[in-house]
């Protein structure tokens, strides 16, 4: 039982946000070198870029991705596609170890057997933010989203199924992982503007990696 594994006098590293959504505090910390080496390798082949929304606004977050699908936004809309529009080449493959780590995190949060085929990598500099949105361009909502935070801390907003629903503010630090799926899969979520700071490994930036099963 949970109670035996996590006695009352030990702080629980798993924090339930609501049914289907959980923060795994520090879960990715042992894997930071692997993750950063992989992010650097991906960014060398598919550089971080600021996409534009269909309405023509430049997104403050820079992004790239790896795996079978990458998320793109331009004046035609939002979608996943198999090729990087900058190079016309397929997105770089997911570095070894990425999918297994995402699968372990999903299992800790109650979603066994998660097999992600895409990893989006977001880079936030001070002031960058992600407005409230739903992740709904994927085909199969029975699969969760696994989100890893690295670098500068941020405030994650986690809301309801309507944009206007009240949101909780969840502080996220280097190494924290958020998993949402099941009844929470279509919750609106976002990130408040990043506060300036200097992270010992990443400098003036936050990297967020989200794993999904797109196809």
Residues that bind Fe ion (CB under 5 A): 135
H or E stretch covering 28: none
User: Is the CB of residue 157 less than 8 Å from the CB of residue 190?
Assistant: yes
Cα-based distances in Å from 22 to 12, 17, 114, 137, 168: 12, 5, 15, 22, 13
Pick the binder of ligand SIN from 72, 143, 208, 214 (CB under 6 A).
Answer: 208
Contact partners, residue 141, CB within 8 Å, separation at least 6: 185, 186
Minimal distance, residue 193 CB to ligand SIN, in Å: 12
Residue 147 binds ligand SIN, judged by CB under 6 A: yes
Minimal distance, residue 135 CB to Fe ion, in Å: 4
Q: What are the tokens at 202?
A: 């990443």
Choosing among ligand SIN, Fe ion, none, which partner's interface includes residue 103 (Cβ < 5 to 8 Å by kind)? none
Pick the binder of ligand SIN from 31, 210, 213, 214 (CB under 6 A).
Answer: 210
Residue 146 binds ligand SIN, judged by CB under 6 A: no
**Burial degree of 210 (CB within 10 A; 0-12, 13-18, 19+):** buried
16 vs 37: CA distance, rounded Å:
30
**Burial degree of 64 (CB within 10 A; 0-12, 13-18, 19+):** buried
Beta carbon nearer to Fe ion, 12 or 165:
165
Minimal distance, residue 106 CB to ligand SIN, in Å: 16
Q: Which of residues 99-128 bind ligand SIN (CB under 6 A)?
A: 122
Contact partners, residue 24, CB within 8 Å, separation at least 6: 13, 14, 105, 108, 109, 176, 177, 178, 179
Minimal distance, residue 3 CB to ligand SIN, in Å: 30
Minimal distance, residue 163 CB to Fe ion, in Å: 13
Residue 180 binds ligand SIN, judged by CB under 6 A: no
Pick the binder of ligand SIN from 80, 98, 156, 180 (CB under 6 A).
Answer: 156
Q: What are the tokens at 131?
A: 């407005």
Pick the binder of ligand SIN from 94, 191, 194, 214 (CB under 6 A).
Answer: 191
Residue 27 binds ligand SIN, judged by CB under 6 A: no
Residues forming contacts to ligand SIN in the complex (CB under 6 A) are: 122, 130, 147, 149, 156, 189, 191, 208, 210
């Amino acid at each position: 039982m949970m109670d035996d594994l996590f006695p009352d006098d030990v702080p629980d590293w798993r924090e339930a946000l609501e049914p289907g959504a959980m923060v795994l505090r520090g879960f990715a910390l042992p894997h930071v070198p692997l993750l950063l080496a992989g992010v650097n390798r991906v960014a060398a082949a598919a550089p971080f870029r600021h996409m534009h929304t269909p309405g023509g606004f430049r997104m403050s977050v820079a992004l790239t991705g790896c795996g079978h699908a990458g998320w793109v936004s331009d004046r035609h809309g939002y979608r996943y596609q198999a090729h990087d529009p900058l190079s016309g080449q397929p997105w770089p493959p997911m570095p070894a170890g990425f999918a297994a780590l995402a699968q372990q995190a999903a299992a800790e949060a109650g979603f066994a057997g998660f097999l992600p085929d895409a990893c989006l990598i977001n880079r936030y500099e001070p002031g960058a933010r992600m407005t409230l949105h739903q992740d709904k361009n994927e085909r199969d909502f029975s699969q969760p989203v696994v989100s890893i935070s690295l670098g500068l801390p941020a405030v994650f907003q986690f809301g309801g199924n309507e944009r206007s629903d009240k949101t909780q503010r969840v502080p996220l630090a280097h190494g924290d992982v958020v998993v949402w799926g099941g009844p929470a899969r279509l919750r609106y979520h976002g990130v408040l503007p990043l506060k300036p700071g200097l992270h010992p490994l990443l400098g003036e930036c936050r990297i967020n990696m989200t794993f999904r099963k797109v196809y």
